[in-house]
């Protein structure tokens, strides 16, 4: 049997094993009108012709004014961030595997870790993760390794995309995932206490939660610790410029998404998750930690002080297999935080709150619109209930180059959110843009 025939036979055996007749059956879920039978490749063009074609294609793009968040946010990216991350030594580098290979890259990671620790008031950060969703999964894994039990309490107000990743990851690992129902959009102490027991491994609470509301993290963390369980805080890093930090309310692990700190939205985000913990849990962290030291000449240097990935140690001893760090995005977050400084960062958070509050008050005063959760404290997102057709609202807004709110009737199966929509207002939105939104909503 020649090599080609052998490959064909092996391929047929594989297809038979999974119960299909041919490779095309693997792609039956793709709509027929999107399947290309043949690539339409034209003859070679000149560089000028290609550029002209690309410019014409680019003209079809619409620049929308965004009033939508739900995990990916439209924040201003200072020129300083772009200047640094576009330098070739950073742009083209990859995750270091040898500590001596790239001192510049290692220092950038070290500075990032230091800033994340300062931002959250916790002790140890790793070099970053894929995104916020995998960061939550890693935090749960850390708690299971530490407590040796598998009962996890999770707020139903956690980002639904994070919940999907959690369910996907743990559905075959015999982990007991229990979701806590919200009362008026947040987790009530009694709801938590009814589910807590001595077998509870960890409690996962997001604040600001998916609805933008601020949870009583201090109280929820207090009761969690009464049962010797770990408290995992899922936070929007920008909100920490104003609200209590995870360290202040004694959280064991804090996780979140760095996209809003210097990374573009990019049709769903160039994401970068962070995870930071108390010193007592440092050796449970996934990935790698960069440390500062001195060389034989007494000069400052940087090394990988912890490497618990499967590439570095025996796979069975690795803390995780999904912990590749997003170095370039972590660098963007580092530059973003450094550029704003502590006072500027606080001011940025306050501007987000002020603009969101102004928009919230204007919308809820309109006929047919009301606040779903009353006047509870929120960050830069809020839920509005309406008697009008949300799909029609978004179509009209899109016609006016506005990306409207997220329709929670479609995004969440929870009947409590029927006829509700999630608005997001960041520092990017001007008063004239907000007022234009209000005027359009008045006419619908």
Q: Is the pLDDT of residue 21 over 90?
A: no
The full set of domains in the chain, from first to last, is: 3-58 (no CATH), 65-74+342-443 (3.90.1150.10), 79-337 (3.40.640.10)
For 406, the 3-state DSSP assignment is strand
- Structural element, H or E, at residue 384: strand 381-386
pLDDT at 405: 97
pLDDT in tens, 139-151: 999 999 999 999 9
Predicted pLDDT at 103: 85
Q: pLDDT by residue (tens digit) across 228-258? A: 999 999 999 999 999 999 999 999 999 999 9
pLDDT score recorded for residue 315: 61
Determine if the peptide bond prior to 208 is cis (ω within 30°): yes
**Between 289 and 318, where is the model more confident?**
289
Residue 40 has pLDDT above 90, yes or no: no
Question: Which residues, including other chains, have CB under 8 Å from residue 416's CB and lie 6 or more apart?
Answer: none
- 3-state SS assignment for residue 317: helix
Helix (H) or strand (E) holding 422: strand 420-424
**Contacts (Cβ under 8 Å, ≥6 apart) of 73:** 238, 259, 260, 265, 380, 424, 426
Cβ pair 422, 405 in contact under 8 A: yes
433, HSE (Cβ side, Cα atoms, 13 Å): 17
When pLDDT is averaged across residues 107-132 and rounded to a whole number, the result is 95
Residue 6: pLDDT band (50, 70, 90) is: low
pLDDT above 70 for 309: no
Higher pLDDT residue, 63 or 426?
426
Give mean pLDDT, residues 80-86.
94
pLDDT score recorded for residue 99 = 53
- The answer to whether 273 touches 128, Cβ cutoff 8 Å, is yes
pLDDT exceeds cutoff 90 at 283: no
Confidence of residue 414 (pLDDT cuts 50, 70, 90): low
pLDDT over threshold 70, residue 413: no
pLDDT for res 95: 58
pTM recorded for the entire structure? 0.88
Q: Mean pLDDT in the chain?
A: 91
Q: Tell me what pLDDT residue 352 has.
A: 98
Give the distance between the most distant pair of CA atoms in the chain. Answer: 78
* Burial readout 347-374 (b: 16 or more C-beta within 10 A, e: otherwise): ebbeebbebbebbbebbbeeeebebbbe
Rounded to the nearest 5 degrees, what angle is found at the Cα of 30, between the Cα atoms of 29 and 34?
165
Pairing assessment for the beta strands 273-277 and 288-294 based on DSSP bridges: unpaired
Residue whose entry in the numeric block shows the structure tokens 């520092």: 427
Instruction: Produce one character per residue of 150-172: b if its CB has 16 or more CB atoms within 10 Å, e if not.
Output: bbbbbbbbbbbbbbebbeebbee
For range 351-375, the mean pLDDT: 97
Q: Which residue has the tokens 């912890």?
A: 306
List pLDDT tens digits, range 162-176.
Answer: 999 999 999 989 999
Residue 312 DSSP class = T
pLDDT at position 118: 97
The pLDDT of residue 101 is: 61
pLDDT of residue 104: 85
pLDDT recorded at residue 105: 86
Cβ-based neighbour number of residue 235 at 10 Å? 26
How many Å apart are CA 252 and CA 231, to the nearest integer? Answer: 5
């Amino acid at each position: 049997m020649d090599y080609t025939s052998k490959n064909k036979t092996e391929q047929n055996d594989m297809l038979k094993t999974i119960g299909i007749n041919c490779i095309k059956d693997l792609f039956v879920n793709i709509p027929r009108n999107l399947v290309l039978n043949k690539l339409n490749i034209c003859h070679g063009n000149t560089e000028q012709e290609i550029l002209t074609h690309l410019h014409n294609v680019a003209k079809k793009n619409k620049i929308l004014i965004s009033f939508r968040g739900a995990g990916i946010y439209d924040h201003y990216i200072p020129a300083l961030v772009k200047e640094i991350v576009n330098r070739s030594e950073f742009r083209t580098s990859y995750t270091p595997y040898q500590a001596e290979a790239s001192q510049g890259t290692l220092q950038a990671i070290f500075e990032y870790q230091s800033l994340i620790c300062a931002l959250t008031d916790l002790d140890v950060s790793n070099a970053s993760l894929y995104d916020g969703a995998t960061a939550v999964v890693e935090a749960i894994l850390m708690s299971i390794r530490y407590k040796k039990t598998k009962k996890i309490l999770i707020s139903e107000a956690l980002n639904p995309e994070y919940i999907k990743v959690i369910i996907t990851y743990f559905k075959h690992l015999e982990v007991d995932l229990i979701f806590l129902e919200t009362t008026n959009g947040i987790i009530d102490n009694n709801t938590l206490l009814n589910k807590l027991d001595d077998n509870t491994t960890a409690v996962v609470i997001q604040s600001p939660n998916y609805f933008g509301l601020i949870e009583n993290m201090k109280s929820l963390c207090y009761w969690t610790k009464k049962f010797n369980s770990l408290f995992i805080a899922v936070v929007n890093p920008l909100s920490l410029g104003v609200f209590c930090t995870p360290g202040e309310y004694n959280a064991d692990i804090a996780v979140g998404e760095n996209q809003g700190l210097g990374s573009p939205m990019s049709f769903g985000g160039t994401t970068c998750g962070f995870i930071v913990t108390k010193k007592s849990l440092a050796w449970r962290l996934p990935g790698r930690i960069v440390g500062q030291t001195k060389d034989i000449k007494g000069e400052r240097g940087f090394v990988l002080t912890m490497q618990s990935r499967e590439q570095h140690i025996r796979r069975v001893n690795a803390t995780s297999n999904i912990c590749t760090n997003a170095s370039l995005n972590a660098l963007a977050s580092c530059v973003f935080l450094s550029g704003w400084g502590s006072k500027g960062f606080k001011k940025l958070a306050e501007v987000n709150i002020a603009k969101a509050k102004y928009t919230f008050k204007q919308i809820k005063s309109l006929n047919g619109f009301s606040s779903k959760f009353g006047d509870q404290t929120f960050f830069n997102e809020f839920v509005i209930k309406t008697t009008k057709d949300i799909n029609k609202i978004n179509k009209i807004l899109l016609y006016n180059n506005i990306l409207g709110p997220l329709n929670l009737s479609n995004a969440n199966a929870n009947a409590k959110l029927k006829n509700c929509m999630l608005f997001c207002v960041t520092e990017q939105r001007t008063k004239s843009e907000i007022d234009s939104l209000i005027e359009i909503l008045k006419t619908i």
